[in-house]
Amino acid sequence: MNKETIEQIIKVTEKDLSEINNYSAKDALKDVAKKALKRGVTNRDPIFWPAGLLMLGLSEAATSPSDSTSELISKELNSEIIGNLRAYIDKWIKSGKEVSFVDDSVAGITMIKLYEATGERQFHHGAAKIANFLSQATKNDEESIIYNPARGNDLIYADGAGQAAMFLAKYGTVFHKRNAIALAAKQLINFYNNGFDKKSGLPYHAFSLAEEKKAGIIGWGRAVGWLMLGYSEILSNINKEENHGDGPIGDAILKSTSEKLMSEFYSLIKVTLEYQRPDGGFSWLLPAVEGEADTSATAMIAYSMANWLRSGMFQSHAKELSEEAKEAIQRAKDFLLENTENGSVLQSLSNCEDLAVHRQIYGHYPWGQGSALAFFSITD
3-state secondary structure of 121: helix
Cα distance between residue 13 and residue 17, in whole Å = 6
Spatial separation of the C-alpha atoms in residues 368 and 299, rounded to whole Å: 7
Question: What is the share, in percent, of the chain residues with pLDDT greater than 90?
Answer: 84
Q: Which amino acid is residue 370, in one-letter code?
A: G
pLDDT at 246 over 70: no
Task: Name the band, by pLDDT with cuts 50, 70 and 90, for residue 16.
Answer: very high
Average pLDDT over residues 66-72: 96
**Range of weakest confidence among 107-111, 241-245, 329-333:** 241-245
The reported pTM is: 0.94
- The yes-or-no verdict on residue 207 having pLDDT over 50 is yes
pLDDT band at 32 (very low <50, low <70, confident <90, very high): very low
- The pLDDT of 67-78, averaged and rounded, is 97
Mean pLDDT for the stretch of residues 224-241: 91
Q: What percent of the chain has pLDDT over 70?
A: 90
- 3-state SS assignment for residue 215: strand
The answer to whether residues 304 and 271 touch, using CB atoms and an 8 Å cutoff, is no
Query: Taking 70 as the threshold, does the pLDDT of residue 243 lie above it?
Result: no
Report yes or no: 284 and 207 within 8 Å, Cβ to Cβ: no
Does the domain spanning 3-23+40-378 belong to CATH 1.20.910.10?
no
Residue 30 scores a pLDDT above 80: no
Report pLDDT for 240.
Answer: 74
219 contacts: CB under 8 Å, gap ≥ 6 = 197, 200, 202, 203, 275, 285, 286, 287
Residues 295-309: what's their mean pLDDT? Answer: 97
Sign of the CA dihedral running 140, 146, 151, 154:
negative
Confidence at residue 25, expressed as pLDDT on a 0 to 100 scale? 45
Hey, where are the domains in the chain? 3-23+40-378
- Residue 177 pLDDT greater than 60, yes or no: yes
How does pLDDT run across 142-160, given as a tens digit for each residue? 999 999 999 999 999 999 9
Phi, psi of 145 (to 5 degrees): -80, 120
- The residue type of 187 is Q
Taking residues 258-284, report their average pLDDT: 97
Query: Which amino acid is located at 136 in the chain?
Result: Q
- Dmax (CA) for the chain in angstroms is 60
Which three-class secondary structure state does DSSP give residue 18? helix
Task: Calculate mean pLDDT across residues 238-247.
Answer: 64
Residue 29 or residue 137, greater confidence: 137
Residue 316 pLDDT greater than 70, yes or no: no
pLDDT of 22 reads 73
pLDDT surpasses 70 at 43: no
pLDDT at 242: 59
